[in-house]
Amino acid sequence: MRKSWSISLVTASLVAAGVLPVSPAVAAPPGATLAAAAERGGRYFGAGVQSYKLADPAYTAILDREFAVVTPENEMKLDATEPVRGRFSFGPADRIVAHAEQRGMRVRGHTLLWHSAQPSWLAALQGTALRDAMLNHVTQVAAHFRGRVQAWDVVNEAFADGTSGARRDSNFQRTGDDWIEAAFRAARAADPDAKLCYNDYNIENRAHAKTQAVHRMVRDFRQRGVPIDCVGLQSHFTATHPVPADFEATLRDFADLGVEVQLTELDVEGSGATQAEDYRRVVRACLAVDRCTGITVWGVRDSDSWRSSATPLLFDANGVKKPAYTAVLDTLNRGPCR
């Protein structure tokens, strides 16, 4: 298995030399922040971020205090980074990466290939032309962020919902079943050090066909030496898709394949004590599985969420800590229940 999750060698040496600060969130007194509490258990705690919100001091005050890892919610997606074929645009993404690096934070890249958020020129291609453009995109974007992104969601949401266990029908899938393998090999060639993740939603219940299908792919990749280091479970929980009772078992199933598991877009619809208990159960499941290396919540405040009306995050719209925050901090500080 590749090195355990760690800041890049460059960042680590700059931190050691006192050039780069250790993330304030991590350097805080043990247990005082989400990141510091997670760090005590050898995990990271991060947040999905949006570049335009970095101009909001109320937003960055929480982000910089509480989180050690950032994931651009949209700024590294296909439409943002290659809006015109062959012309790459990294400004907003670079702003997020610079913000993180100046504070000793790490970066998850999201996402090199996805059936959604595609620029129109890409969506219009098919066959060999699409396959070539897809792999060039992976290569160019991964190369641009080499040494600055510690883990990539190389492919996002490639499996169908429901009971089929089939691949999702998409333009990428129609270039041939091997598109996912090709993407991971191209990402590894462009960045030998980044952890390469497959990321998806609704794979939190081990019995579901989609979960089993992803598990089969990852097992096949590991057996054939296809470069894959982690599985990202987005972990968007709602009343109709609650935290499974056997969530820990799902994480362990993937971890037993020899890959890390990362909770990459955690949010839990609800409020009050019920929401707090759901978050507690999720964190406990991650802490119980050694290869669960970190948790990212998908936004900072409820008002920053893609589904703000569900009030799914740890801070309310005014940036006030919710009971869910306290439950997460407390559970992280207790550490793994041995």
Just list the catalytic residues.
Answer: 157, 265
Shorter beta-carbon distance to ligand G3I: residue 52 or 129: 52
Q: What residues contact 241, with CB distance under 8 A and at least 6 apart?
A: 202, 204
Quick note: the x/- pattern for ligand G3I over 127-156, rule CB under 6 A, is: -----------------------------x
Shorter beta-carbon distance to ligand G3I: residue 89 or 333: 89
Binders in 83-112 for ligand G3I, by CB under 6 A = none
Cα-Cα-Cα-Cα dihedral sign, residues 195, 73, 267, 168: negative
Q: Which two tokens stand for residue 267?
A: 């949010």
- Binder to ligand G3I among 88, 90, 121, 306 (CB under 6 A)? 306
Residue 259's DSSP bridge partners are none
Based on the shown chain and the rule CB under 6 A, indicate whether residue 265 belongs to the binding site for ligand G3I.
yes
Residues that bind ligand G3I (rule: CB under 6 A) add up to a total of: 9
Determine whether 19 is exposed, middle or buried from the number of CB atoms within 10 Å of its CB (0-12, 13-18, 19+).
exposed
Q: How far is the CB of 253 from ligand G3I (least distance, A)?
A: 21
Shorter beta-carbon distance to ligand G3I: residue 243 or 288: 243
Across 40-169, where does the E strand assignment appear? 44-49, 69-72, 106-114, 151-156
Q: How far is the CB of 73 from ligand G3I (least distance, A)?
A: 4
Shorter beta-carbon distance to ligand G3I: residue 129 or 317: 317
Q: What residues contact 298, with CB distance under 8 A and at least 6 apart?
A: 47, 48, 73, 234, 236, 265, 266, 267, 305, 306, 312, 313
Residues that bind ligand G3I (CB under 6 A): 73-74, 116-117, 156, 201, 234, 265, 306
